[in-house]
């Protein structure tokens, strides 16, 4: 059982939690045990996993004593509330929230980009923001060949980023509008169906929302490059589940389009989708449920001799969240990076 | 009657044609007569205008002899087919298609930007592409104060850009998906509902679609600035009618955000929409049916000391097409720029 791991999922009923369980199953994660944790409100409900009905337990001080890895996707406040208990119990928390991402003692990891950052964890590893992961996957392979100087990105973010309830709300709103009724907005401040709006996270004094600052700051941290310049405009669009991004890259020297295409054709976790004859490129409907980030429309930036333009779509819940978290867990197991308690099992 | 003008609308039944008629009415355009022209297929149908049922006539060689201005919105091939007849008849064609926009003898006009270009027309004036008009409206006032060096723009284009049928198709697709049925795509190559994809106009050898090249070339022509560098990514989104754009501007020198805000607050045809407290900025649902282009989220580009970011939405059918065409017609009347035949009436 030395390679088997005791896992707890904190927040198992949400959109990301559901996907975490699916991935633990389909990727045959070496589970010694699986514990589903949630607030007392949902405790007692059951979730089917590998043919067995698992009962959701209310999280408490003793929940983590027999756990090696906690996959947390219950939001920042829940992660902050339980992190000390988790770490003191000897488990590693792989946290989907933004609570610890910019903490200098917490590695922020995309396994295809900076796996070695995991070596120095102190019990907490942060899973990056979804748009940042998808962007990083597409541009890191290019950055390795010739450093990117500047990134200007505009996002097209689906409802799933705001959770399962927001996805339902988008559908309910669309039906209301089709029936010529007034759409109701609860998860979002404004109706999203047949509409779009700037990402509604808090704005800083420079006018950037949190989502945009995550793309800027997290990209620098994951790339371990404080010099890379990033600007972002984050927009919520009436798509259910996959995010898209229009990415403008500036290099120090010209970067041949053909070279970029060759690099991305074989990059891990990336699928090049470019059928120029049929005007067929990455679309959310194709990225949904896929592990890979779909990248295409790689072309010379006509406004800058050292620029490239590209377009990407990726499943926000999968590589943008749950898949990346499970990959981090796999990395910990493979490289014996569980904490002493776990190693001693 | 010297100030009254004989107008023909070519393509009166389409999304833009319908709006042209509404604008001729609501703006009290000085009509001496109004003729509705279309293909023999729709000839004979009637359209209500100012309480009168106007019969659509089939266009022929004699349609334009008693006409001063032709507002054409029936597509490039129809415009190309009839342009000689129109010009030979002494009328001016204000053409919504892309047929003549880049012709050096044809002025390409946004009345708020380059009205004097109309002075040298030879019977043909081109109405720019919708995304180009909306972009120009928002950035021209800044360009006047300090020249823009480079523009990187990503668009969020509604179904209306592909016509009234595409708007219906988006609704039908959404209903199909809500009913868990397969959506059918006819106006577009792929389903648009709850999805999005790069603009499906023809691609050139550099990988840019026609829509993107229009933004690049038409902006330079309207601004009469061959030096301005432009790159564009055009994306179709599941919105019914207004287009949005994420715009990154680079100047030679830093451009203070407050100064840009002050300029756009009083710019003609622009409404500044920035409620930072409530995270309320331009949205397609608010831009629909509005004459002004809504601009907001003006902020320093964090990746470049001389950069500004801004966000805009505008009604694609209105300022993006029909309103701009009617404004050009008004400009011709006001400045006595009709052709000799017309002046002689």
Instruction: Give the domain CATH number at A120.
Output: 3.40.50.720
**Greatest Cα-to-Cα distance within chain B, rounded to the nearest angstrom:** 63
- Are A156 and A304 in the same domain? yes
Cβ-in-10-Å burial (0-12, 13-18, 19+) of A105 comes to exposed
Q: Tell if the CB–CB gap between B283 and A156 is shorter than 8 Å.
A: no
**In the prediction, which pLDDT does A341 show?**
62
| B75 token code pair | 């597509």
Report the DSSP beta bridge partners of residue A232. A153
Which of B197, B219, B256, B287 would best serve as a mutation to test chain A binding (most A beta carbons within 10 A)? Answer: B197
> Minimal Cα distance from B178: which residue of A?
A171
Q: Which of A130, A143, A199, A234 is an active site residue?
A: A130
The HSE-up count of residue B76 (CA atoms within 13 Å, CB side) is 7
Q: Is B237 on the interface with A (CB under 8 A)?
A: yes
Instruction: Give the residue-averaged pLDDT of A324-343.
Output: 88
Q: Which residues of B are annotated as a binding site for NADP(+)?
A: 13-16, 160-161, 316
| B283 token code pair | 């949205």
Cβ-in-10-Å burial (0-12, 13-18, 19+) of B157 comes to buried
Q: 3-state class of A67 per DSSP?
A: coil
Name residues 179-198 of chain B within 8 A of A (Cβ). 189-191, 193-198
- Are B189 and B254 in the same domain? yes
- Are A238 and A157 in the same domain? yes
Q: Which of B130, B143, B199, B313 is an active site residue?
A: B130
Instruction: Tell me the average pLDDT of chain A.
Output: 95
- Are B103 and B181 in the same domain? no
If one counts every other C-beta atom within 10 angstroms of the C-beta of residue B91, the result is: 25
Name residues 282-311 of chain A within 8 A of B (Cβ). 283-285, 297-304, 307, 309, 311
- Are B311 and B329 in the same domain? no
Say if residues B193 and A284 touch (Cβ distance below 8 Å): no
Cβ-in-10-Å burial (0-12, 13-18, 19+) of A115 comes to middle
**In the prediction, which pLDDT does B342 show?**
42
| A268 token code pair | 């891990």
Say if residues B54 and B46 touch (Cβ distance below 8 Å): yes
Q: Which of A121, A143, A199, A243 is an active site residue?
A: A243
**In the prediction, which pLDDT does A269 show?**
98
Q: 3-state class of A53 per DSSP?
A: strand
**In the prediction, which pLDDT does A342 show?**
42
Domain count within chain B:
2
> Minimal Cα distance from A287: which residue of B?
B195
Through-space distance between the first and last CA atoms of chain A, rounded to whole angstroms = 8
Q: Tell me the pLDDT band of A3, cut-offs 50, 70 and 90.
A: low
Chain B positions touching A312 (Cβ under 8 A) are none
The span from the CA of A320 to the CA of A284, in Å, is 13
Q: Tell if the CB–CB gap between A233 and B311 is shorter than 8 Å.
A: yes
Chain-centre distance of CA A241, in angstroms? 12
Domain span including residue A283: 131-316
Instruction: Return all residues near A95 (Cβ < 8 A) that are at least 6 apart.
Output: A72, A79, A83, A124, A125, A126, A127
Shortest distance, CA A253 to any CA of chain B (angstroms): 17
- Are A224 and A310 in the same domain? yes
The span from the CA of B52 to the CA of B54, in Å, is 6
B121 catalytic residue (yes or no): no
**In the prediction, which pLDDT does A143 show?**
98
Closest CB from B194, B307, B311 relative to A239: B194
Closest CB from A200, A301, A311 relative to B198: A311
A304 catalytic residue (yes or no): no
Q: Pick from A173, A178, A153, A152: which is nearest to A162 by CA?
A: A173
Q: Tell me the pLDDT band of A142, cut-offs 50, 70 and 90.
A: very high
| B112 token code pair | 């708020």
- Are A266 and A326 in the same domain? no
> Minimal Cα distance from A256: which residue of B?
B206
Chain B positions touching A218 (Cβ under 8 A) are none
Q: Tell if the CB–CB gap between A156 and B195 is shorter than 8 Å.
A: no
Q: Tell if the CB–CB gap between B231 and A237 is shorter than 8 Å.
A: no
Shortest distance, CA B45 to any CA of chain A (angstroms): 28
Q: Tell if the CB–CB gap between A301 and B174 is shorter than 8 Å.
A: no
Q: ipTM of this complex > 0.90?
A: yes
Chain B positions touching A200 (Cβ under 8 A) are 279
Instruction: Compute and round to an integer the Cα radius of gyration of chain A.
Output: 20
CA angle B188, B190, B195 (to 5 degrees): 110
Report the DSSP beta bridge partners of residue B233. B154
How, if at all, do strands A307-315 and A270-272 pair? unpaired
- Are B93 and B149 in the same domain? no
Chain B positions touching A298 (Cβ under 8 A) are 207
- Are B202 and B170 in the same domain? yes
Q: Is A27 on the interface with B (CB under 8 A)?
A: no
Q: Where are the alpha helices (DSSP H) in chain A?
A: 15-26, 76-88, 130-145, 164-178, 210-223, 257-265, 284-287, 323-334, 340-344
Instruction: Report the CATH number that the domain containing residue A153 is assigned in CATH.
Output: 3.30.360.10
- Are B77 and B142 in the same domain? no
Q: What are phi and psi of A152, to 5 degrees?
A: -120, 120
Say if residues A209 and B128 touch (Cβ distance below 8 Å): no
The span from the CA of A282 to the CA of A286, in Å, is 7
**In the prediction, which pLDDT does A344 show?**
38
What 8-state DSSP symbol labels residue B207? S
DSSP string, A297-320: EEEE-TT-TTEEEEEEEEETTIII
**Greatest Cα-to-Cα distance within chain A, rounded to the nearest angstrom:** 63
| A92 token code pair | 């590693």
- At residue A298, does pLDDT exceed 80? yes
Closest CB from A203, A240, A307 relative to B279: A203
Say if residues A64 and A86 touch (Cβ distance below 8 Å): yes
Say if residues A36 and A9 touch (Cβ distance below 8 Å): yes
Q: Is A246 on the interface with B (CB under 8 A)?
A: yes
The HSE-up count of residue B161 (CA atoms within 13 Å, CB side) is 28
The whole-number mean pLDDT for each consecutive block of 10 residues of chain B, a chain of 345 residues, reads 83 92 97 94 94 95 96 96 97 97 98 97 97 98 98 97 93 98 96 97 97 98 97 98 98 98 98 96 98 98 98 96 98 93 44
**Percentage of the residues of chain A whose pLDDT score is greater than 70:** 98
CA angle A269, A274, A276 (to 5 degrees): 175
- Are B162 and B88 in the same domain? no
Instruction: Return all residues near A19 (Cβ < 8 A) that are at least 6 apart.
Output: A317, A318, A321, A322, A323
- Are B273 and B294 in the same domain? yes
What are the angstrom distances between the C-alpha of B20 and each of A210, A227, B50, B73, B177? 42, 51, 13, 9, 33
How, if at all, do strands A5-10 and A31-38 pair? parallel
> Minimal Cα distance from B149: which residue of A?
A303
Instruction: Return all residues near A168 (Cβ < 8 A) that are at least 6 apart.
Output: none
Look at B342 and A177; give whichever has higher pLDDT: A177
DSSP string, B104-143: TTS-B--TTT-GGGGGG-SSEEEPPPHHHHHHHHHHHHHH
The span from the CA of A194 to the CA of A174, in Å, is 7
Shortest distance, CA B155 to any CA of chain A (angstroms): 9
């Amino acid at each position: 059982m030395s390679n088997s791991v005791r896992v707890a999922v904190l927040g198992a009923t949400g959109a990301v939690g559901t996907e975490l369980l699916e991935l633990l199953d389909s990727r045959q994660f070496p589970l010694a045990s699986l514990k589903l944790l949630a607030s007392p409100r949902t405790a007692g409900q059951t979730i089917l996993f590998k043919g067995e009905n698992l009962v959701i337990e209310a999280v408490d001080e003793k929940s983590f004593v027999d756990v090696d890895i906690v996959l947390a996707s219950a939001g920042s406040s829940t992660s902050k509330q339980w992190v000390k208990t988790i770490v003191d119990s000897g488990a590693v928390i792989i946290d989907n929230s933004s609570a610890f991402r910019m903490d200098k003692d917490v590695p922020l990891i995309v396994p295809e980009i900076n796996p070695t950052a995991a070596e120095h964890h102190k019990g907490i590893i942060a899973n990056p923001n979804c748009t940042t992961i998808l962007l990083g996957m597409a541009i890191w392979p290019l950055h390795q060949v010739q450093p990117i100087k500047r990134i200007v990105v505009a996002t097209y973010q689906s409802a799933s980023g705001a959770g399962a309830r927001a996805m339902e709300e988008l559908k309910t709103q669309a039906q209301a509008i089709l029936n010529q009724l007034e759409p109701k907005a609860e998860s979002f401040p404004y109706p999203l169906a047949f509409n779009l709006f700037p990402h509604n996270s808090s704005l800083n004094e420079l006018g950037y929302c949190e989502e945009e600052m995550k793309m800027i700051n997290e990209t620098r941290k994951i790339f371990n490059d404080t010099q890379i310049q990033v600007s972002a405009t984050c927009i919520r669009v009436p798509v259910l589940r996959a995010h898209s991004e229009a990415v403008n890259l500036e290099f120090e020297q010209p970067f041949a389009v053909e070279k970029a295409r060759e690099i991305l054709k074989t990059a891990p976790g990336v699928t090049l989708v470019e059928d120029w004859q049929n005007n067929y490129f990455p679309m959310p409907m194709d990225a949904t449920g896929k592990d890979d980030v779909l990248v295409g429309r790689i072309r010379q930036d006509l406004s800058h001799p050292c620029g490239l333009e590209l377009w990407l779509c990726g499943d926000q819940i999968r590589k943008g969240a749950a898949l990346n978290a499970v990959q981090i867990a796999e990395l910990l197991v493979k490289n014996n990076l569980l904490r002493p308690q776990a190693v001693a099992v």
